[in-house]
Structure 1
Amino acid sequence: MFNNSFNLGVSISALLVCIVNLIYTFIERRTDKTQNRIFISMICILIVNSISGMITGIYGDNPGESGYIYQVFQVSKYAYFVTHTALCPLFFYYVCCLSFVSNKMKSMKAKLIFMPFFITEILAVTNPLTHYVWSYKDGEGFHREWGEFLIYIAALIYYILSFVILGRTWKVISGKRKAALVFFFALVGVGVFLQLIKKDFKVEVLAEAVGFTGVLIAVENEDDRIDFGMGFYNRAALRLDIGSCLRNRRDLHIIIMYIHNYDLIDRIVGDEDTNIIADILSDYLKSITKRYNIYVPDKDKIVMTFYSDVYSDADRIAERIAERFDETWIYKDYTVQFNVSVILADLPDQITSTSELFYMIENPVPADNEKKVLKGEDLQFIMRRRAVESALSRGFTENSYEVYYQPTYHINRRLHGAEALIRMHDGQLGNLYPDEFIPVAEQCGLIDDIDDFVLEEVCRFVSTGIPQKCGIDNINVNLSVIQCMRPHFVERINEIVERYNVEKSFINFEITETIAANDYEILSGTIQRLKEEGFLFSMDDYGTGYSNVSAIFSLNLDVIKIDKSLLWGAEKSELGMVILENTIRMICQMKKKILVEGVETLEQIRLLEKLGVDFLQGYYFSKPIPKDDFIKHIEKASAAVR
């Protein structure tokens, strides 16, 4: 039905497809992983099979019984069966590598899985002596023997086993890989079936070649897994790979590196063509482990995986990494010093899910911890953070939140206003302070609710008329940049304040210098809209960030709050005094009101009087106190004035 010319064309097509796949694989330089090498081996097998098919297409299955052509025919058939017998077992092992179960192939039980391959391969290799797989009979040409059917049965076994392995890890395989592997299984199945029922319809190798093209495009091509700016695997790849390891109970040592000063280094040495990890750290990281064991889930975090059955000295590796980061790095004309924390954790002993791993990655690590490597009991801070998250979640239902007030005074020590500060009293953890729970609230998405709670409590208090009666000019409410970026933020603020019929000029929103430095363009529009409504704005903690001064003062702020560190520094050194004096002089020249935080002594007040500031805040007057105590405080201060 199908002549030799047709089969020759099919074989040439298969050969061309395989050669293109092989060339593309080397161009992309995807040759270092075990799965890459197996893929290349399978493509080479198909190239041999295609050449064998071409010889059959040229000379047919009955080229005579002697001479050069006969010898070529015999060699080509021998090469075909010896190599093709290994194709399905190799594909099975390829799937095992993709699914992170290849390490299990080392056990005695797993080795039994390859017995069908060993048996059929021996049949193929010894066929010139036994003729159990195929034979060449007088007058009949090429003839299949019972051994070939054993080869097909063995291939079917590995075909099914591959499906079983994929089924077990189906949930942790990307959609693109799923589609490619299903395409391969379907196409190869059709090709084998057609060639079995129509012996002269030799399309099996072409079907396999085209199927492997799909695998090349979707599996071997890892564009969706690689961060090209970094040159390493990305967040999605880490999630899938760790999920596969957990699914198949693959033990791992995981080293996480947190670069605390990434942004600072990037500002100093970086430009649009520079990537710190790729340009400075890449060679060092690849000297520790293979490229495919390195992940960059965030720009300032690096994750390295070490299989327990391969690496037994993960502790020492982590220590060496920490020691190297204690030293400086030379990049172009710069000497770079990284501030890095290193965590070592084991999977599945300490990390039992991908969510736990990413929780650990995203969890802020103290930049000033004394230990070079955090491991074992050192990771208790993560448990503490989880406990804080739980406390935040139940805080509103258990009435754990409370607003404290710290009064502010005019320079003449007359009552001016107050700053509203959130506090938390959890039934299980006790008293929690903003420095601990606010960063957690920002990350877990509860900061909006907390900010709204503070504003509502302040408005409820102001609506009683007590602050106005005691001479309070306004109350400061801290504003998070996350809240500012919320849709309809201005409308929400107006709705809360107007609900309590509070004069908008009585609310003074505070933003931090760091926030303004990073997002002042976004904030500028929000601030302008709220100021048009009548609200006031202050810059909090001025002097602690790295902001652009002109950018800060373009925000049309009413008050600049100088951080306590500048005041305390002025008492300690002449340089500190120069910094404080010049800071105050500059703000005065820009015609902004000045409030100084951290006032604790009468001497500090006298110094600030000379320097010409407007308002004071600190423990000299009062620490932050609950509302009832604050009412007593301002009533007493008001009575003293009268």
Structure 2
Amino acid sequence: MKAVMIFPILKQESGNMVLSLNHRRQGHVWSMAEIKFTSDAVKILQSILTRRIQKNSLAGSYAALEEILDNVGCAIYVTDQNTGRMLFANQILKNTFAKELMDHNFDALLQSSIHKDKTRTVSVVYHAEKETWYDLLCKEIAWVDGKKANLYSLYDITDKKLYQRRIEQQAYTDFLTGLYNRMCCERDLARQIDQAKKIGGKGALLYLDLDDFKHINDGLGHQYGDVLLKSISHALKRINGIENTCYRMGGDEFVIIIPPDSYPRFGNIVEDIKKIFSKPWFLKDADYYCTMSMGIVTFPDAGDSVTDLIKKADIAMYEAKKTGKNRVETYREGNDSVSGRRLDMEKNMRDATVEGYREFEVYYQPIIDIQGGKDVCAGAEALIRWNSAKLGFISPAEFIPLAEYLGLINPIGNYVLTEACTRCKHWNDTGYPDYKVNVNLSVVQLLQPDIVETVEKALADTGLSPKNLTLEVTESLAINDMDRMKEILNRIKALGVSLALDDFGTGYSSLNHIREIPIDVIKVDQSFVKDLAGDAYSQSFIKMVAELAQTIGVSVCVEGIETPEQFKVLQGMKVKYIQGYYFDRPMERHAFEAKYVK
């Protein structure tokens, strides 16, 4: 070459691009005009090549991006921020929402779920037709060509939602009956109150309690009580208007919410419920009747607080109980008498147990040994009393059933057991080594899985000899689940503790049960003593029980002896122990010790 002029155009990884002009035959001196013209041409060529390269690069980038987004685990949708036009949809979105895209209503589905609050970037899309849920994430981005765009990511969370539903179902459902529980009732009642206020409507809350349900449990066994509860639950759910608003509050109590949209059928619903309980239930090859007492309160006119409404319905229900059971009462301001007292008792009892049982006192009634010609004290029965700081002295007949209902009988019973063992240990150490103390065990206590350990701990903590502790169980308790009772009582007996069968003659047990239960003492109920002085049947009954007890090697204690005439009848019978006002009423500890622990 005779003359050369070279201009660089592009520099790339694969090599450099240059423009070369040359003369091969003869030399040449390049003029400024030639140089300038060529330089301008190079600039134009650089611009053309750059645009071509950028176009190719953009196409390649878009293809790569499309490949990536088609293989992520969620649906991707990109729209132009200014026009709303779709810029991209990955394959998952096209497959999942093909019908919506074809019908041009996919954008409407998204917009209906997006939060107006821009600070919240995650929404939930529910597709009713498919019954599927999606987490929706929305973000502003710059698209591959530089346009402002909206990026939507949809993650299928249907399995998660269905799992949450199952967990909620378990949390809000009563295991035995399948009805909703108290927690669900409170949640739904709040919603129905808001709905009634919103539409200016009215709803009602019905509180039901089965009358004398304990008789079914005691007489037939808990398994048949459970059958009855399930049968009642199924019957309630079949009533038109309340199919999904029936709740079991616990035990034998039910609540029904009549929503505002069902309130026009209020009268019919109440009548339908009453009809359910007007017919017998077939249990254990026979028909049994079980009635109910119902309290009614309406909302929002009677209140808009969930707690207050349930309380008022409960008060109305107890008014129905008080006036004879098998009745329906509507709450009225001021009708809180006995029912209101019960609610006050509930609050104060909870406070009393939390504050160390200071308001509870253990009284002692002497048990007199009348065999051998000498009437001597053999010990005492420990009896719980409640002297409330706010309500005054409350009868055990009032507060013990409430304690069982509230689940407080276990801590109260444990307190009595420990106190009684402590006092008896003191009596044994101060000159009365043979004194025994009797402590009553309720049904609820005896069915606790750790009852044996509880008794063992009380003996260990107080140092009382097991032979000086007698635990009393009721007759009706023993027949519900004989195998279980025998197992529990035999374990208690193995500790060296004595067992007494209380209230004998009033329950449902047969004489054969006396042989099955490992008892040491039969306590004849005081109902047989009332007319003992002149009633041949009562005399014969006690005599028969005493002779039977002697045959099987147990002792007899007769409760409720109040007069000399009653006491005289028992002399000569094979009765070992006596309790009753004839000797002494239940006394405070210091009074008992002043008289019997000298």
Task: Please state which band the TM-score falls in when normalised by the shorter chain.
Answer: 0.5 to 0.7
Aligned pairs (5 A) from 1:268-347: 268=220, 275-279=227-231, 282-298=234-250, 300-308=252-260, 311=263, 316=267, 320=271, 323-324=274-275, 327-329=278-280, 331=282, 334-345=286-297
Counterpart of 2:389 in structure 1: which amino acid?
A: G
| Richer in strand (by share) | 2
Deviation at 1:620, TM superposition (A): 2.0
Change (3 A) 1:407 1:261: same
Q: Deviations over 1:189-226 (max 9, x none)?
A: 36x989x9999x9x98x958x45565455449975344
Report the 3-state secondary structure (helix = DSSP H, G, I; strand = E; otherwise coil) of the residue aligned with 1:568.
coil
Aligned residue among 350, 353, 357 for 1:393: 353
Q: TM-score, normalising length from structure 1?
A: 0.59
> Aligned match of 1:232 in 164, 176, 179?
179
1:548: how far off?
6.3
Structure 2 partner of 1:156: 114
Q: What is the alpha-carbon distance in structure 1 between the residues aligned to residue 572 and residue 494 of structure 2?
A: 34
Name the counterpart of 1:406.
365
**Residue by residue, what CA displacement relative to the aligned partner does 1:350-371 show, whole Å, maximum 9, x if unpaired?**
6845699599989996966526
Paired position in structure 2 for 1:257 = 208
Determine the structure 2 residue equivalent to 1:147.
none
Map 1:8-407; keep pairs closer than 5 Å: 50-51=98-99, 53=101, 56=102, 76-77=103-104, 80=105, 85=108, 87=109, 152=111, 155-156=113-114, 184=133, 187-189=135-137, 207=154, 210-211=156-157, 214-215=160-161, 218-219=164-165, 223-224=169-170, 225-227=172-174, 230-242=177-189, 253-262=204-213, 264-265=215-216, 268=220, 275-279=227-231, 282-298=234-250, 300-308=252-260, 311=263, 316=267, 320=271, 323-324=274-275, 327-329=278-280, 331=282, 334-345=286-297, 352=305, 369-370=323-324, 372-374=327-329, 375-376=331-332, 377-378=335-336, 379-390=339-350, 392-393=352-353, 396=356, 399-407=358-366
Structure 1: runs of 5 or more not aligned: 15-45, 57-75, 89-151, 167-176, 178-182
Secondary structure, counterpart of 1:618 in structure 2: coil
Aligned residue for 2:394? Answer: 432
Q: Which amino acid is 2:252 matched to?
A: D
Q: Relative to structure 1, is the Cα distance of residues 380 and 456 closer, same or farther in structure 2, using a 3 angstrom cutoff? A: same
* Deviation by residue 1:232-270 (Cα, 9 ceiling, x = unmatched): 324553354346668999785321222244465477599
What amino acid sits opposite 2:114 in the alignment? L
**Correspondences of 1:240-639 after superposition (within 5 Å):** 240-242=187-189, 253-262=204-213, 264-265=215-216, 268=220, 275-279=227-231, 282-298=234-250, 300-308=252-260, 311=263, 316=267, 320=271, 323-324=274-275, 327-329=278-280, 331=282, 334-345=286-297, 352=305, 369-370=323-324, 372-374=327-329, 375-376=331-332, 377-378=335-336, 379-390=339-350, 392-393=352-353, 396=356, 399-411=358-370, 412=373, 414-417=375-378, 418-442=380-404, 443-444=407-408, 446-459=411-424, 461-463=426-428, 465=430, 467=432, 473-480=435-442, 482=445, 485-486=450-451, 488-498=453-463, 502-518=464-480, 524=486, 527-528=489-490, 531-547=493-509, 550-551=512-513, 553-568=515-530, 580=542, 582-609=544-571, 611-631=573-593, 633-634=595-596
Q: 1:523 to 1:227 in 2, by over 3 A?
A: closer
How far apart, CA to CA, are the structure 2 residues paired with 1:529 and 1:49? 67
Q: Deviations over 1:520-541 (max 9, x none)?
A: 6566566545545543332222
Shift of 1:625: 2.0
Distance 1:298 1:163 in 2: 43
Q: Could you tell me how far 1:424 is from its partner in structure 2? A: 2.9
In the alignment, is the contact (CA less than 8 A) between 2:122 and 2:136 conserved in 1? Answer: no
Distance of 2:364 and 2:116 partners within structure 1: 72
Cα deviation, residue 462, structure 1: 0.8
CA distance in 1, matches of 2:440, 2:220: 31
d(CA) in 2 for partners of 1:246 and 1:197? 53
- Superposition deviation, residue 305 in structure 1: 1.0
SS state at 1:230 partner: coil
- Could you tell me the TM-score, scaled by structure 2's length? 0.63
Give how far 1:622 is off.
1.8
Distance in 2, matches of 1:433 and 1:272, equals 32
CA distance in 2 between partners of 1:522 and 1:261 (Å): 24
Distance in 2 (alpha carbons) for counterparts of 1:550 and 1:360 = 45
Q: Distance between the aligned counterparts of 2:513 and 2:343, measured in 1?
A: 40
Higher helix share: 1
Q: Percent identity?
A: 21
Greater Cα shift, 259-268 or 350-359: 350-359
Give the C-alpha shift of residue 447 in structure 1: 1.5
Q: Indicate the structure (1 or 2) with the bigger Cα radius of gyration.
A: 2
**Letter of the 2:206 counterpart:** I
Alignment coverage as a number of residue pairs: 482
After superposition, what is the alpha-carbon deviation per residue over 1:402-437, rounded to whole angstroms, capped at 9, x for unaligned?
A: 332222223456123222222233332221233333
Q: Could you tell me whether the CA contact under 8 Å between 1:301 and 1:361 is conserved in 2?
A: no
Q: CA deviation at 1:571?
A: 7.2
Q: Is the 8 A contact 2:459 2:465 kept in 1?
A: no
Which of the pair has the greater relative contact order for Cα pairs under 8 Å at 6+ separation? 1
Following superposition, the deviation at residue 517 of structure 1 comes to 3.9
User: How big is each residue's C-alpha offset from its partner over 1:16-65, in whole Å with a ceiling of 9 and x where there is no partner?
Assistant: xxxxxxxxxxxxxxxxxxxxxxxxxxxxxx99964354xx5xxxxxxxxx
CA displacement at 1:594 relative to structure 2: 0.5
Report the CA distance between 1:292 and its aligned residue: 1.0
SS, match of residue 275 in structure 1: helix
Name the CA distance, whole Å, in 1 between partners of 2:382 and 2:210. 34
1:287 Cα shift?
Answer: 1.7
Alpha carbons of structure 1 residues 197 and 553: separation in structure 2 relative to 1, 3 Å: farther
> CA offsets, 1:255-314, max 9 Å, x none?
122224446547759979983344355245432533211122435232211235752786
CA distance in 1, matches of 2:119, 2:281: 51
CA deviations on 1:103-158 (whole Å, 9 max, x unpaired) are xxxxxxxxxxxxxxxxxxxxxxxxxxxxxxxxxxxxxxxxxxxxxxxxx3x65357
| 1:61-88 alpha-carbon deviations (Å, 9 max, x no partner) | xxxxxxxxxxxxxxx44xx47xx74x57
Instruction: Evaluate the alpha carbon distance shift between residue 160 and residue 541 of structure 1 in structure 2; reply closer, same or farther with a 3 A threshold.
Output: farther
The letter for the 1-side match of 2:415 is I
After TM superposition, give the deviation of residue 342 of structure 1 in Å.
1.7
Against the structure 1 CA distance between its residues 157 and 358, is the aligned structure 2 distance closer, same or farther, given a 3 Å change threshold?
same
| Aligned residue number for residue 130 of structure 1 | none
